[in-house]
């Protein structure tokens, strides 16, 4: 989708994109504009854009069409804001949408940016062009981008940026796939397909293996569905590994559709539930990209996959289930199922894999939406350095997180007379869900990402497309692709 070129844009390109910046209140054009204007006979492009109402607001796009010897030249003026990463990401999404139907766009927009800005621009273009359709005619493909005014040394930066953006797009694709296609078995196969090019080590538990080994939460949630549950494990090992190489475990919630079980959701609340496996999609997409980013630490991905359905075998309010490792849960609300399927692989990771850091990712609670609205992900952690590191990665990646409290004074809400915990106390829902999961993190440094607040976008805006977002893959890859992902964590 992207090609680097050291040349400035020319009229022969047919479609050109130029940056619009704010210089102390004055609108100015970015790199490549002077050479193009001279080629066009010293046309005052800035005046033409100003007359057309152009601004430097990030993501705003104005189109000019000028006659040239071979027909017409289309020039997009693209606002880049302060030319930081957020502005470049918005600019990439804005120009790719404006250029729909074009074959090739020669862009100098990203030439105003540093490496982080180029990475953000690529993310904006890739994700702004995301489309999922099962129509017979899915529409025109996204244009290719020739990145003009670019030094050849940017090739590794571009390659890395594409890897991150494509992984985020894959997470979004999986989350957007309808649930009549996306059974736990289908998702298991998709995870394995994503893993294959990177030659990740894989392991799959089917119902028989889950039963034999005591993964009671996954089995209980998935037992009413016509499509059985699975647990999938992927393992990445860096090229250079020693006994001291740190180990991270990622656990992603994979509920392929959530009816709420017998504690059934209202109809309108079910309309987005095909994306309740976003956590698993994010983990799978992240795992698939680690080798290309030369991630320096060992990473294991665990994805419990199940459908929370209604039927004669369904989990009932009042049932008590036994998780892997022996801890018990009284189920007072079958719609609080995500924590039940996460608990098993988290405890398995603590006891069997013994990582240096445990991270779970889930569209877990409606409570986090109440707390944060739409657009911010919630982060809970028992380790200050881990929380700070992931918050910084989210800010860099354009997937912002907000720190939430692990309020010990709410621990008593989890009390049950018949089991170790109640799965749904009904008060402080996002916090008590995190406290429930903390019991399955042992003494490990642990991060819980509740991304239900960022799991859907109401409209096409910035790099988000209406529907499931796949939120989380970019922030994890910005973090795990850094030189020392676990620096200071657990110290």
Residues belonging to the active site: 265, 339
Can you spell out the DSSP letters for 368-379?
Answer: HHHHH-SS-EEE
Alpha-carbon distance of 14 to 35, in angstroms, equals 15
- The secondary structure of residue 9, as a DSSP letter, is P
Nearby residues of 57 by Cβ (< 8 Å), 6 or more positions away: 79, 81
Alpha-carbon distance of 168 to 234, in angstroms, equals 18
Can you spell out the DSSP letters for 151-162?
Answer: -GGGHHHHHHHH
Nearby residues of 332 by Cβ (< 8 Å), 6 or more positions away: 317, 318, 422, 423, 424, 425, 426
Residue 102, classed as helix, strand or coil, is coil
Tell me how many helices (H) and strands (E) the chain has: 14, 21
| Six token digits for residue 172 | 């979004």
Nearby residues of 24 by Cβ (< 8 Å), 6 or more positions away: none
Residue 160 CB coordination number (10 Å): 20
Alpha-carbon distance of 275 to 95, in angstroms, equals 28
Alpha-carbon distance of 278 to 284, in angstroms, equals 10
Residue appearing with tokens 């392991």: 203
Strands 446-450 and 377-381: antiparallel
Question: For residues 87 and 56, is the Cβ–Cβ distance under 8 A?
Answer: no
| Six token digits for residue 81 | 């804001």
């Amino acid at each position: 989708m992207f090609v680097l070129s050291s040349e400035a844009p020319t009229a022969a390109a047919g479609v050109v994109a130029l940056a619009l910046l704010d210089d102390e209140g004055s609108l100015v054009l970015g790199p490549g504009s002077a050479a193009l204007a001279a080629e066009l006979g010293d046309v005052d492009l800035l005046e033409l854009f100003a007359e057309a109402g152009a601004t430097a607001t990030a993501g705003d796009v104005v189109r000019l069409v000028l006659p040239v010897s071979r027909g017409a030249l289309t020039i997009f003026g693209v606002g880049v804001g302060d030319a930081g990463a957020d502005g470049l990401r918005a600019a990439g999404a804005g120009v790719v949408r404006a250029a729909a139907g074009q074959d090739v766009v020669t862009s100098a927009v990203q030439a105003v940016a540093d490496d982080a800005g180029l990475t953000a621009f690529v993310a904006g273009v890739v994700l702004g062009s995301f489309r999922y359709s099962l129509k017979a005619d899915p529409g025109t493909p996204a244009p290719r981008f020739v990145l003009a005014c670019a030094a050849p040394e940017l090739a590794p930066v571009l390659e890395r940026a594409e890897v991150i953006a494509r992984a985020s797009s894959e997470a979004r694709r999986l989350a957007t796939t309808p649930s009549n296609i996306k059974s736990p078995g289908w998702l298991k196969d998709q995870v394995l397909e994503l893993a294959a090019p990177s030659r990740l080590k894989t392991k799959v538990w089917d119902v028989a293996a889950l039963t034999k080994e005591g993964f009671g939460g996954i089995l209980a949630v998935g037992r009413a569905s016509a499509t059985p549950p699975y647990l999938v494990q992927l393992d990445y090992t860096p090229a250079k590994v020693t006994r001291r190489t740190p180990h991270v475990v990622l656990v992603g919630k994979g509920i392929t559709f959530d009816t709420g079980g017998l504690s059934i959701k209202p109809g309108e609340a079910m309309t987005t539930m095909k994306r309740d496996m976003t956590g698993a999609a994010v983990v799978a997409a992240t795992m698939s990209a680690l080798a290309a980013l030369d991630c320096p630490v060992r990473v294991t991905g665990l994805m419990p996959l199940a459908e929370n359905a209604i039927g004669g075998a369904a989990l009932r309010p009042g049932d008590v289930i036994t998780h892997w490792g022996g801890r018990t849960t009284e189920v007072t609300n079958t719609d609080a199922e995500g924590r039940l399927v996460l608990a098993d692989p988290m405890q398995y990771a603590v006891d069997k894999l013994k990582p240096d850091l445990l991270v779970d990712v889930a569209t877990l609670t409606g409570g986090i939406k109440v707390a944060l609205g739409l657009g911010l992900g919630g982060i809970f952690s028992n380790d200050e350095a881990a929380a700070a590191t992931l918050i910084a990665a989210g800010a860099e990646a354009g997937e912002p997180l907000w720190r939430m409290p692990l309020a010990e004074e709410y621990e008593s809400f989890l009390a049950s007379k018949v089991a170790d915990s109640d799965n749904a106390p009904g008060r402080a829902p996002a916090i008590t869900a995190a406290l429930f999961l903390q019991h399955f993190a042992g003494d490990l440094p642990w991060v819980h990402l509740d991304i239900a607040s960022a799991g859907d976008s109401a409209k096409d805006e910035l790099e988000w497309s209406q529907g499931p977002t796949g939120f989380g893959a970019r922030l994890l890859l910005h973090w795990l692709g850094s030189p020392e992902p676990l620096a200071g964590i657990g110290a």
